[in-house]
Amino acid sequence: MQVRKSTEIRRQQIIDIIRNIISSKGIEHVTISEIAEEIGTTKGAIYRHFKSKRDILSLLIDDIEKTLMESINSAMVEKDPVQNLKNILLAQLILAKNRRKTSFVVIMGAMQFSDPIIRKKILQLIQKYLRKIEKLLLSSIELGLIKKDINPKTSAMVFMGLIQSTVTIWSYKNFNFVPQKMHSDLWNVYKQGIGV
């Protein structure tokens, strides 16, 4: 049982290292050698946990998906779908601040990886995310809380883009921001667009 715990801890360390490498140096620097150097171990130790770069990125994407979906689900506490959208926006900004260089920045970096299996996995994650946001927008339309003529698919992409672009800019400023202040500004822009 102790070996499994040690393996899980080491895999999480590796995930954290990979996130930092992608966000600070780029996807091309995610190599077994770079990971081993960053973690202070040998390449052989890394190969005990992963067979290839694909396996490493696949685990990273799984971790991002888990974190992202937990963030969304924990923010959806209201019966009002518009309020849930607002909560999700804040939760994602706080997540970006707390985890630094996570989720969207890492996903966009991993998209540069040419492996079709990794690209497909990332696309599935993005589509899963967009469907959750789209579902909230559709509920909002049905309840008459937002404009009926908005396109939910496009509005979901705008929502994601709003977060992605903000987090990308913050990553270049070393995440020096106050999520609550930025949330208010971003929400005001978005809610006008969907006609809250």
Q: Band the pLDDT of 2: cuts 50, 70, 90.
A: very low
Those residues whose C-beta lies under 8 Å from the C-beta of residue 9, and which sit 6 or more positions away, are: none
Average pLDDT on 7-24 reads: 77
* pLDDT tens-digit map of 176-191: 677 888 899 999 999 9
- Sequence spans of domains, the chain: 51-192
DSSP E strand stretches across the chain: none
pLDDT digit string (tens) for 69-120?
Answer: 998 999 999 899 999 999 999 998 888 777 655 555 566 656 666 678 888 8
Least confident of 43-47, 105-109, 149-153: 105-109
Is pLDDT of 145 > 90? yes
Q: Under a CB-based contact definition with an 8 Å cutoff, are residues 150 and 194 in contact? A: yes
Q: Which of 134, 110, 136 is nearest to 56 (CA)?
A: 110
**What is the pTM assigned to this prediction?**
0.79
Arithmetic mean of pLDDT over the chain: 83
Confidence (pLDDT) at 82: 96
Q: Give the CATH class of 51-192.
A: mainly alpha
- What the block records as the tokens of 166 is 């903000």
